[in-house]
Amino acid sequence: MPDVAQTQRAEAGAGPRVVTACVVLIGDEILSGRTRDTNLSYIAKHLNEVGIQVREARVIPDIEETIVSVINEVRGRHDYVFTTGGIGPTHDDITADSIAKAFGLPIGYHPDALAILDAHYKETGGEFTEARKRMARVPEGATLIENSVSKAPGFQIGNVFVMAGVPMVMQVMLDSLTPRLEGGAAMRSRTVSGQIGEGTIAEKLGALQKRYPGIVIGSYPYYRGKVYGTSLVMRGTDPALLDEVAGEAAALIRGFGVEPVEGDPA
């Protein structure tokens, strides 16, 4: 991914390199509302800890043409792409084939994946059916991603990491692949909250944002029964600057006679 990386280094000027990712959630069940996705927020938090920022997410159906075009669109635009879903043994699991097609690569059985699954079914007494063998198919040149929960591995091809959709399986795969990732500047955040309406502080907050273009300030209203207020979330890579802006945000809230709290409201 030298081109993407270089462009972003140039954009970032002399500052620390910004490393970005796109998450692609593949599955009809998310778009139908049957399954409420929990993977995106988990992946985003995890990547953030290693200095990778999720800048975009897509939720797409189990349709080959769509998977191919979306993967090809986003893999050139981000340092990393992470997909979830569609790598099981059934007819509707078409992610591996679609990713191979996106890369213009043949797909075949990975010998290590076959060995892992063969050992697993021997141990558990399950039959290693043709359908289950499908889970050993990866694009040519892909490297496996270990699955310590249910064995059937994910895979990496280029800058695309293909993981399971079942959250506990996805989570161990993400842990397993993390050493392969090269993070950039860690994005840190500070939150300051107060029992005050967004509309009351909005003007002063806008002015604060203008004074600190290097920190992104988000304003999020909250409701806790009859109590309402606003959480101000400051994000940036410079810890000292972040401290300074968090201090200013607290002072801003205090200026309206409201005592600010560090973090989210209880």
Where along the sequence are the contacts to its own copies (CB under 8 A)?
Answer: 27-38, 40-46, 48, 53-62, 66, 88-93, 126-127, 129-132, 134-135, 166, 168, 187, 189, 197-203, 205-206, 209-210, 216-221, 223, 233, 235
Q: What is the SS3 assignment for 108? A: strand
Shortest CB 141 distance to its own copies, Å: 26
Best CA proximity match to 108, nearest among 75, 82, 142, 84:
142
Measured at the CA of 145, the angle between CA 174 and CA 152, to 5 degrees, comes to: 105
Judged by beta carbon, residue 113 or residue 157, the one nearer its own copies is: 113
Query: Least Å distance between CB 31 and its own copies?
Result: 5
Distance CA 232, CA 261 (A): 10
Least CB distance to its own copies at residue 206 (A): 4
Tokens read off for 142 = 């892909």
Q: Tell the smallest beta-carbon distance from residue 26 to its own copies (Å).
A: 12
Residue 136 or 157 with smaller CB distance to its own copies: 136
Q: By C-beta, is 108 or 206 nearer to its own copies?
A: 206
Q: What is the DSSP letter of 51?
A: T
Query: 149-180 in b/e burial notation, b at 16+ Cβ within 10 A?
Result: eebbbbbbbbbbbbbbbbeebbbbbbebbeee
Q: Give 166 or 261: the residue with its C-beta nearer to its own copies.
A: 166
Residue 100 beta carbon to its own copies: minimum distance, rounded to whole angstroms: 19
As given in the structure block, the two tokens for residue 167 are: 């959250």
Cβ-based nearer residue to its own copies, 6 or 38: 38
Cβ proximity to its own copies: between 106 and 263 the closer is 263
List of residues 6+ apart from 31 with CB closer than 8 A:
59, 60, 61
**CA gap 194, 108 in Å, rounded:** 57
Closest CB 119 distance from its own copies, rounded Å: 15
